[in-house]
A and B are shown apart, each in its own frame.
Chain A
Amino acid sequence: MTDIDNDLVSRAQHGEQDAIRAILEALHRPVIATVFRFLGTRFRSEVEDIAQEVFVKVFRAIDRFEIERGVKFTTWVYTFVRNHCFDVLKRRRLPTVSMTARDGDDDAPVFDPRDERARRPVESVENQELGEKIEEALASLGEDQRLAFVLREYEGLDYAAIAQVTGVSEGTVKSRLHRAKEALRNRLSRYVGHSA
């Protein structure tokens, strides 16, 4: 997990533009990835807007972040990711089951020359199918389990950090992860056996 230097946070709290930009440079990829993996493909066209809203909220509240309390700034940011994603789901009143959107240009991935997968179109199609299977499996989880899984397996947060982000005990985090993994193994048993 990327960590942010306290001095940088302090400078951002004083409104220094280069400090704010440095934090954005460090955190925008994990935040966008977490938003995308938590909300699913149907939010692909909005994922950057949602991530931007998260950052606006983070920096609106950055004065309330207390460095002395010892909480990692990144962990604190993930609490905003969690809360905002939950707000988005609540606002849309949409079911969180994946629709695996393929039905519009808006959902098409944006070509980025830095993206290794984008340079291998044939392989990318196969991988995309597998990705969709994983996404479907993730979407079948409850929101709490899915968030715990994404934060642990994709973002590498430790149990204590996930507990802080989600506001539950470490034991509950582990329990949720266990259930999430079990459900995913069942759903992806074919691929798990093949890949393992």
Chain B
Amino acid sequence: MSIHHDQTAGDPGEDDAFRDADLAAPGLPSIRADFVDRATARVVADLARIRAEAEAVDDLRLPRTLLDEYAAPSPSLDFVARTAAAIAADRGHADDAALRDLLERYTPPKISAGFVARTLDALRDSPASPSLRLVRDASPPRRRQLRRALVAAAALVIVVLGVRAFGRGGSAPSQPSPGTIVASALSFSPSSATTAFARLNAAPARGAGEDDLDLVPLDGLLLLAQGAMVTRR
């Protein structure tokens, strides 16, 4: 005989239909057909008892004088002070703990391996980006315009000098003659460039050569006829 049967034998609810196999089988045990009826009756009876007791609660009285004999001890004189101090300490610890917890939970964001590459790509693909201008050209726009104007002026001067040299010799030399100075400039103003090239142009007539570098302003570029390039900085 199984333990289950030993323990329930003789119980009012025990019947033959409730076998050990019910417990051994997987899934829920079988439910008796009258389960709902019996449970309902029990719940209703319990509620009725509670209601009856609740209605009669004020009928039962215990003498106040009797109950007062069970007196609670008087608190210590410093109970309030001690408790207030304990509460203050506890709240302080709680605040510290909350802050510590917050700090412990904060972890600085980690930069992923591809972050730099992706950011540079994004900057490259977006010309409107202000930071992209820094990458492409650190020069301010006005300076770029000035540079373009100078280059154009220099090109014009070169053309003029070339034409004059061609005219003086009667025919265009295949190479600049020695002592002819062809100059270009990159970073000085158009007016100073004009002056400089005019003086340079006059220099060969005076027999000037590389010694006339003083004629070239600072940051100017002097291209000698031999193809040598000299800069002053």
24 cross-chain CB contacts under 8 A? A20-B87, A24-B80, A32-B72, A33-B72, A48-B75, A51-B83, A52-B86, A55-B87, A127-B71, A131-B69, A131-B71, A134-B69, A135-B70, A171-B50, A171-B54, A174-B53, A174-B57, A175-B50, A175-B54, A177-B57, A178-B54, A179-B53, A181-B61, A195-B65
B96 to chain A, nearest CB (A): 14
- On A, residues with C-beta under 8 Å from B are 15, 17, 20-21, 24-25, 28-29, 32-33, 36-37, 44, 47-48, 51-52, 55-56, 59-60, 109-110, 112, 114-115, 117, 127, 130-131, 134-135, 138, 153-154, 170-175, 177-179, 181-182, 184-185, 188, 191-192, 195-196
Interface of A is mostly: helix
- Known pairs A36-B73, A181-B62, A192-B63. 17 more at Cβ < 8 A? A20-B87, A21-B84, A24-B80, A24-B83, A28-B75, A28-B79, A28-B80, A52-B79, A55-B83, A114-B74, A138-B70, A153-B62, A171-B50, A174-B55, A178-B53, A178-B56, A181-B60
Interface residues of B in 64-115 (CB under 8 A from A): 65-67, 69-77, 79-80, 82-84, 86-88, 90-91, 94
In the complex, which residue of chain A has the Cβ closest to the Cβ of B55? A174
The distance in angstroms between the C-alpha atoms of A152 and B70, with both chains bound, is 15
A117: B residues at CB distance < 8 A: 71
The distance in angstroms between the C-alpha atoms of A25 and B80, with both chains bound, is 6
- Tell me whether B49 is interfacial, beta carbon within 8 Å: yes
- Tell me whether B51 is interfacial, beta carbon within 8 Å: yes
The distance in angstroms between the C-alpha atoms of A139 and B147, with both chains bound, is 102
B71: A residues at CB distance < 8 A: 117, 127, 131
- On B, residues with C-beta under 8 Å from A are 49-51, 53-57, 60-63, 65-67, 69-77, 79-80, 82-84, 86-88, 90-91, 94
A192 to chain B, nearest CB (A): 7
The distance in angstroms between the C-alpha atoms of A182 and B61, with both chains bound, is 9
The distance in angstroms between the C-alpha atoms of A195 and B65, with both chains bound, is 7
Interface of B is mostly: helix
Cross-chain contact B57 with A44 (CB below 8 angstroms) = no
Given the interface pairs A52-B86, A55-B87, the reply to whether A44 lies near B73 with Cβ below 8 Å is yes
In the complex, which residue of chain A has the Cβ closest to the Cβ of B60? A181
In the complex, which residue of chain B has the Cβ closest to the Cβ of A179? B53
Given the interface pairs A17-B88, A114-B74, the reply to whether A175 lies near B69 with Cβ below 8 Å is no
Given the interface pairs A20-B84, A48-B79, A56-B90, the reply to whether A178 lies near B70 with Cβ below 8 Å is no
B50: A residues at CB distance < 8 A: 171-172, 174-175
A179: B residues at CB distance < 8 A: 53
Per CB-CB distance, the 10 closest pairs between chain A and chain B, nearest first, are A174-B54, A33-B72, A178-B53, A112-B74, A134-B70, A181-B60, A195-B63, A175-B53, A175-B50, A174-B57
